[in-house]
């Protein structure tokens, strides 16, 4: 058994003039058994343009899937984001 491991990470592209959060943003990503992101949940009050950029970027991340008893499994992972 092992945890999911980020394999492809895509940086967010923020519109010019976007005010980025000063605090760490916690993202919870739901991964399917292939390691694809199926849902993104962001913690805290964020500007709509920040939320959109993070949703778009994090949705394109790909993980080596988590294994449980040797079989790929769906899982949720927490990712801290600092800007």
Token duo for residue 41? 């949940």
* Three-state DSSP state, 58: helix
Express each pLDDT in 12-71 by its tens digit: 999 999 999 999 999 999 999 999 999 999 998 899 999 999 999 999 999 999 999 999
Q: What is the DSSP letter of 15?
A: P
- CA–CA separation, 28 and 43 (whole Å): 8
Q: What is the DSSP letter of 20?
A: -
Residues forming beta bridges with residue 73, ordered by sequence position? 66
How much is the pLDDT for 44?
Answer: 84
Token duo for residue 19? 């005010």
């Amino acid at each position: 058994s092992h945890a999911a491991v980020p394999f492809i990470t895509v940086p967010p592209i923020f519109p010019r003039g976007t005010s980025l959060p000063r605090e760490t943003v916690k993202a919870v990503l739901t991964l399917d058994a292939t390691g694809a992101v199926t849902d993104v949940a962001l913690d805290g009050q964020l500007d709509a343009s920040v939320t959109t950029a993070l949703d778009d970027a994090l949705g394109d991340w790909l993980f080596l899937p988590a294994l449980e008893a040797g079989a790929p499994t769906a899982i949720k992972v927490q990712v801290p984001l600092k800007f």
